[in-house]
Amino acid sequence: MKLKKFTSNFIIEDLRTSIEYYRDLLGFNLEMVVDDNQITTKELDGDKKYVFAIMSKDDLQIMFQTPDSIAEDVPAFKEVPKGISACFYLEVEGLTNFYQEVREKVEIVKDLYTTWYGMQEFHIKDCNGNFLGFAEKAE
């Protein structure tokens, strides 16, 4: 087996809020959104209810899906309690500039610092309560 790609699928209630947060505050692009009638488009439309989306920034993709939608796809998710116990760690280029760009717009849970293992990092909490760590090798 050869691993080729890892994509996070955040299970969240409100796709519209998540799309706007990742697009407007973190600079992601909306690649695809699916409404509750399984109609696919590349942009938000009016008051439609959405159940799935894919967003990207550079070489990274993130998926968002509602609890009911993922439970239809994988019934085992009906039993999974809401919440998260992970931090999604993203290695980036241009960390300091990105930090300056977003620090007043997002909830910083750990300010910019240099770790003992040689990475410069900061951590945020997104609009769904997920933790994202952004890092770059310290100079």
| Biggest distance spanned by C-alpha atoms of the chain | 50
Strand order in 87-91's β-sheet? Answer: 87-91, 131-137, 119-125, 107-114
User: Quick check: do 1-81 and 83-139 share a fold?
Assistant: yes
**CB neighbours of residue 54 within 10 Å:** 20
Domain boundaries, the chain: 1-81, 83-139
Give pLDDT tens digits for 63-94.
999 998 888 887 888 887 777 667 888 999 99
Strands 50-57 and 29-35 come out as antiparallel
| Residues of the chain below pLDDT 50 | none
SS3 content of the chain, % helix, strand, coil (to 5): 20, 40, 40
What is the second-level CATH architecture of the domain 1-81?
Roll (3.10)
Give the SS3 label for residue 58.
Answer: coil
Instruction: Give the pLDDT of residue 78.
Output: 82
* Cα→Cα distances 132→22, 46, 87, 109, Å: 12, 29, 6, 9
Instruction: Give the pLDDT of residue 1.
Output: 57
Instruction: Give the pLDDT of residue 2.
Output: 72
Detail the DSSP E strand segments found in the chain: 8-11, 29-35, 40-41, 50-57, 60-65, 87-91, 107-114, 119-125, 131-137
**Rounded distance between C-alpha atoms, residue 51 and residue 68, angstroms:** 8
Rounded to two decimals, the pTM is: 0.85
What is the second-level CATH architecture of the domain 83-139?
Roll (3.10)
Calculate ∠ Cα 44-48-33, nearest 5°.
45
